[in-house]
C-alpha cells in the first residue's frame, strides 16, 4: 500500500506557519512533525487508505470530478451519503480525536488518499477532491 501520498494539513501548516522564526522553533516543529508522522501507522489510517485505494482504483478522473461536485452540493445543502461515508469512517473519528487532544493547535486535519480525495477529516470541508498536487509525500516532505 502506498502511504506516502497523503496530506496532513495541520503538520504542513505548522511547519510553514513560522518561516521567519524557523531557527527558534525548529526543534519543536520537528518533534511535532515526527509525532504527526507516527499517526500513519494507526490502523484507522492504513485501513481507510487501503479500502479507498481498492474502491477508487479503476475510477477515471472525470468520475472523481463528478463526486467532488456531488460533495459540494451536499456541503451547501445537507450532508448526504458521500459526506457521511467520509465523516463517519474510522479515520475521521481518529482525526477528530487528534484535533480534540491538540487543545486548539489544529483548526482542521485531513488525510487525502492517493487520488487526492478526502479519505478522512476532522471537520467537513467544502472540497472532497484536492487532486494529486495537494498530496504530500511524507518521506520527502514534498
> What is the tally of structural domains in the chain?
1
How crowded is the C-beta side of 28, counted as CA atoms within 13 Å? 8
What global pTM score does this model have? 0.75
pLDDT score of 2: 43
pLDDT in tens, 38-54: 998 999 999 999 999 98
H helix intervals, 1-132 = 9-16, 22-38, 43-56, 61-76, 81-87, 90-101
* 93 part of a folded domain: yes
pLDDT top residue among 2 and 80: 80
**Dihedral angle sign, alpha carbons of residues 114, 109, 126, 67:** positive
Average pLDDT of the chain to the nearest whole number: 82
Of 65, 62, 55, 46, the closest CA to residue 111 belongs to 46
pLDDT at 113 over 70: yes
Tell whether 142 is covered by a domain.
no
Q: Is residue 121 part of a domain?
A: yes
Q: Which domain holds residue 105?
A: 5-137
Q: Find cell 460533495 and name the residue.
A: 71
3-state secondary structure of 76: helix
Q: Can you give the pLDDT at residue 7?
A: 41
Amino acid at each position: 500500500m502506498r502511504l506516502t501520498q497523503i496530506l496532513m494539513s495541520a503538520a504542513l501548516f505548522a511547519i510553514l506557519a513560522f518561516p521567519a522564526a524557523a531557527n527558534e522553533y525548529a526543534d519543536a516543529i520537528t518533534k511535532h512533525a515526527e509525532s504527526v508522522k507516527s499517526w500513519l501507522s494507526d490502523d484507522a489510517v492504513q485501513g481507510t487508505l487501503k479500502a479507498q485505494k481498492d474502491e477508487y482504483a479503476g475510477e477515471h478522473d472525470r468520475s472523481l470530478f463528478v463526486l467532488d461536485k456531488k460533495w459540494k452540493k451536499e456541503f451547501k445543502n445537507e450532508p448526504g451519503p458521500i459526506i457521511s461515508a467520509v465523516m463517519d469512517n474510522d479515520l475521521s473519528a481518529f482525526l477528530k480525536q487528534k484535533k480534540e487532544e491538540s487543545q486548539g493547535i489544529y483548526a482542521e486535519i485531513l488525510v487525502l488518499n492517493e487520488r487526492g480525495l478526502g479519505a478522512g477529516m476532522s471537520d467537513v470541508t467544502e472540497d472532497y477532491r484536492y487532486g494529486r498536487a495537494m498530496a504530500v509525500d511524507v518521506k520527502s516532505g514534498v
